Each structure stands twice: as structure tokens, then as C-alpha cells.
Amino acid sequence: MAQDEVNGCKLLVIGGSAGSLEVLLQVFPHLRKDLAFPIVVIMHRKAAAESTLEDLLNSKTQLKVKEADDKETIRPGVIYIAPADYHVLIEKDGTLSLDASEKINYCRPAIDITFETAADSLGPALTCLLLSGANADGANGLRSAASLGARILIQDPTTSDVSYMPQAGLAAVKSATVLAIKEISGTINSL
């Protein structure tokens, strides 16, 4: 990928499930506080989840972490967390939409729909990162995003607590960049 395409990141979407919170807790403390793009995090969580996830992640980074709100404009340097039991869609006008439609891959929020809508909106200006998890959610979304020119990053399955999700992502996008946990923050900082 050409250097100017890499430097053109306008949004990073991170998807994960079982084992991914531990990765975020290792990565977030090392993120630059002046990131020029927003991050949207889609994690499978229980519908009754409290805001403790937001508080926990806020304590680990200099960036602002907040739960995504419907029709909110995405701002650089902010980490948006998908609310429990809502899909997060990235709109072409730079806003987030929350959606309570059917579960995808038995999940809501589903990673696939966020990767797909972000790719439709941003194409090559999107970077997707898929982390540890126990199902294939995210693989189809990565395939869609890659077909529209997005940069695809996947946690090395050998460093994942649960390797099924990153393995499914690699099967879907064989050209993805595979990252060990210790490489993730540096890669994000260089986008």
C-alpha cells in the first residue's frame, strides 16, 4: 500500500469479542493523545452491561472514551464504544447511527455491519482492526472493506486468547496485515 494511502486514515474501527478487552487495555495506554482520526470500538457485550467499560477504558488512555450516541458526529481523537444491544452504523455524513435490528452472527452489536457501513462511507480512508474472539463476526465485513480499499489489520491468532475470530478474518482477507499485540499501538499511531 502506498504511503499516502496509509497516512489518509479518517477512521479506525476495532472489532473484537472474547479476549479483546485485554488487548485494548494493553494498547490504549500507548496511543498518541493527538490522533488525527476517531476510533470506533465494537465489542460483543451483554445487553445489561453497565458503563464500567467506558470508565475502565477512559482510565487507560489520554484520548476521550465515550459510548456512541445516535446521530452523533464522529470527531478525531475520540474513542467511541458501541452501546450494548445496538449495531453501530457509520453514515456518509460523518455521523453514527444506532440500530436495534436483528442480530447478525447472533450478535448486537455486530462487527460486520460496522465494518461494511464504514467501508461504504470511507473506502480507502478506513482502517479495520479485528481482535480476539470466539465467532466469525467481522470476517464478512473485512472482506467488504478490503474490496473497497480499506486497510485491514488482524491480531496475530497465536497471540489471541481466542483465535477463531482472527483466523476467520485471515481466511476472508489473506492480504491483511497480521500484528502481534505489542505491534498494534505503534501501527495505530502511525496511521
- What residues are annotated to the active site? 17, 44, 137
| Bridge partners for 15 per DSSP | 42, 130
Distance between CA atoms of residues 24 and 16, nearest Å: 10
Distance between CA atoms of residues 137 and 134, nearest Å: 9
Spatial neighbors of 82 by CB under 8 A, at least 6 apart, are: 40, 41, 42, 43, 67, 68, 88, 109, 114
**What secondary structure does DSSP assign to 150-167, as a single string?**
-EEEEE-GGG-SS-HHHH
What DSSP state is assigned to residue 90?
E
State the residue for C-alpha cell 445487553. Answer: 47
Packing angle of the helix pair 20-27, 181-189 (nearest 10 deg): 50
